[in-house]
Structure 1
């Protein structure tokens, strides 16, 4: 293993630990955001608006932040500023007694993620090209999911065992999140000084950038595939809603199933990331085909084991999306355009997921069969587009 590869791997692992500790912060908070706002006196409409508007801003703003990161050639600036909002907006909730301020902080957290994500993904992609884009993003996603599982668990334990009034326990839980937020920020600053120009990972020793295809028809075709996949991908909240409505499991089991899905996600990210480095977009085709069975098994099959299998397949698809989808961009988009490309990828995915989820939520009330059919049709349509892309380009 060359020094460049070892250095690239060190950068990926470092950024993976940044993700791990930052996910403890905001994934931990997301699990209790609704009840916390309720305790502060917010209405259901306020809770829904906060979640929906925060996600909308979080996805749409990525298009502009990615473009600016490319134009200014200062990805670390966007990453550091974004993480500052993203990490510390949540612990500040420990001092909040008004739902209006809490709502603004929660939206600020999503805004921070939008500012930093395209620039951050670009920097990781430069290093990932040295170890294999799929494997590199797979490692990062696996570490990320450790945090995603740990955060809600930590908040759950605090709320269960801390004495005092409920609002007091929420405040104590948010104050604990200063610790992982600070660790994540320290690691990020260390990364800034150790790896000031991550784009150098993707340059030849002569200083010339590796050649790569331009942002063109292949990229557009890929975004169509991503949009179809996202639109057909069922949200876990709808799956958990169905489990509760059908009384398939007691309430305490549903969060455990989500944890199982996140564990499968972590393993799947590395497996399909490696598979992508060997087989190309065939890995995403396979994971999408497998993941498309999650909806039929969860919503139509009879029996708890089928539901558990459906949730596991959902986790497989999620893990592959988080690693392979970003790896494809690293392969088909030149370094100097990658921030904008990641911003565009995230915006297309987010808007499509929102539209598809809304449509399937409406169909759930009238016909489970139609809802599942729509999910299958969209995801298999994505598979078809990816086959066309594979035939046109080596991705």
Structure 2
């Protein structure tokens, strides 16, 4: 565990606290939105726009972090905005205000993500990227176990009292802000006086990025087009006549599996290859969405969310570790930011399209289309992406 440095620990605990705040609200968010008049289609559009905001800002602020040679200011500001968005959700229930609050939350995520992941990458070597990113994802997702568990206890005593939970979620957010001030930039070259960075300048990275980066990211983006918000999975469980407790329960179970598996799968990926573990995750994703096309009992959904947790553990941190290994160290935040920028544009389309398909044709077709596209992407990674891309940067064998 010597490769888990002080910076990695601090970033991991910040993510843990932030996820406690966010995930306390996540499983009840679609239920809350429906209770204040949002349709399934409007929920899909809301999540798509929020994620697109996060993605575009990830690209810009990732580029800006590399441009200035600084990381921690972006981390601090990003976590602060996400914390402030929680009490905002309680002020009004008008659609415009809800959209604004969600956008502020996602903007905070966009500001911090590239810089934070670059900090993690700087603390690792190519041979330990999988386990470092996996450890961070495990700690991050542990918050997604604690948060919904707190929500479950709260709703047991105060059923239907959703709005007060947004105020409670503000507390761990404040703690995360405090921890962020323990972070310090390494002795990097400071470049604050350079020419200002245009908002869409990160898009130029696609032109001069390594060819293998473009191939990997292209596959990831096609997958994103079918990977809509988890809100739809929770809505499917809810529509199967399960109560709020059962819905939140399967979500907690999913995150517990994710948290427990991310670190071991990161270690496995360092040994077997990032690509192999990622492909296995895609296969599990396709199985889950095919299964979600049908209605079952709480045990049926428990099995699906078990597989879904393993999918997330095999892909989320692994994809960023993979990208950081096939790009130059000086461009890490830009590379990850550019990918996540394009990714969130695709997420906007994915959530909106899934919401429309569900609205027009039902959940079954929406889930089956997702599963089929995931299998196509799986074949793409097997046939197109060469194995050596797992663990080598350009000019860094």
TM-score (norm 2): 0.80
Q: Per-residue CA shift, 1:183-242, capped at 9, x if unaligned?
A: 2122211123xxx31879xxxxxxxxxxxxx83110001011211222233543323333
* Match of residue 67 from structure 2: 71
Q: What are structure 2's unaligned runs of at least 5 residues?
A: 190-207, 392-397
Kept in 2: contact 1:89–1:108 (CA 8 A): yes
3-state DSSP class of the match of 2:183?
helix
* Match of residue 181 from structure 2: 189
CA distance in 2, matches of 1:306, 1:93: 33
**Pair 1:267 & 2:260 matched:** yes
CA distance in 2, matches of 1:38, 1:294: 25
Kept in 2: contact 1:62–1:118 (CA 8 A): yes
**Pair 1:84 & 2:75 matched:** no
Kept in 2: contact 1:224–1:385 (CA 8 A): no
Question: Of the two structures, which has the highest relative contact order with CA contacts closer than 8 Å and spacing of 6 or more?
Answer: 2
3-state DSSP class of the match of 2:182?
helix
Counterparts in 2 of 1:310 and 1:234: CA distance versus 1, 3 Å? farther
1:336 is displaced (CA, Å) by 1.0
CA distance in 1, matches of 2:69, 2:209: 18
**Aligned-residue CA RMSD in angstroms?**
3.2
Matches for 1:330-345 after TM superposition, within 5 Å = 330-345=324-339
CA distance in 2, matches of 1:142, 1:112: 21
Matches for 1:162-311 after TM superposition, within 5 Å = 166=161, 170-171=163-164, 173-192=165-184, 196-197=185-186, 215-233=209-227, 235-247=229-241, 249-280=242-273, 281-300=275-294, 305-311=299-305
**Pair 1:54 & 2:50 matched:** yes
3-state DSSP class of the match of 1:292?
helix
3-state DSSP class of the match of 2:385?
helix
Kept in 1: contact 2:61–2:114 (CA 8 A): yes
Counterparts in 2 of 1:102 and 1:306: CA distance versus 1, 3 Å? closer
**Pair 1:379 & 2:374 matched:** yes
CA distance in 2, matches of 1:154, 1:198: 40
1:294 is displaced (CA, Å) by 0.8
Matches for 1:89-128 after TM superposition, within 5 Å = 89-91=85-87, 96=91, 99=94, 103-128=99-124
Q: What are structure 1's unaligned runs of at least 5 residues?
A: 201-213
Counterparts in 2 of 1:225 and 1:250: CA distance versus 1, 3 Å? same
**Pair 1:21 & 2:14 matched:** no
1:246 is displaced (CA, Å) by 4.3
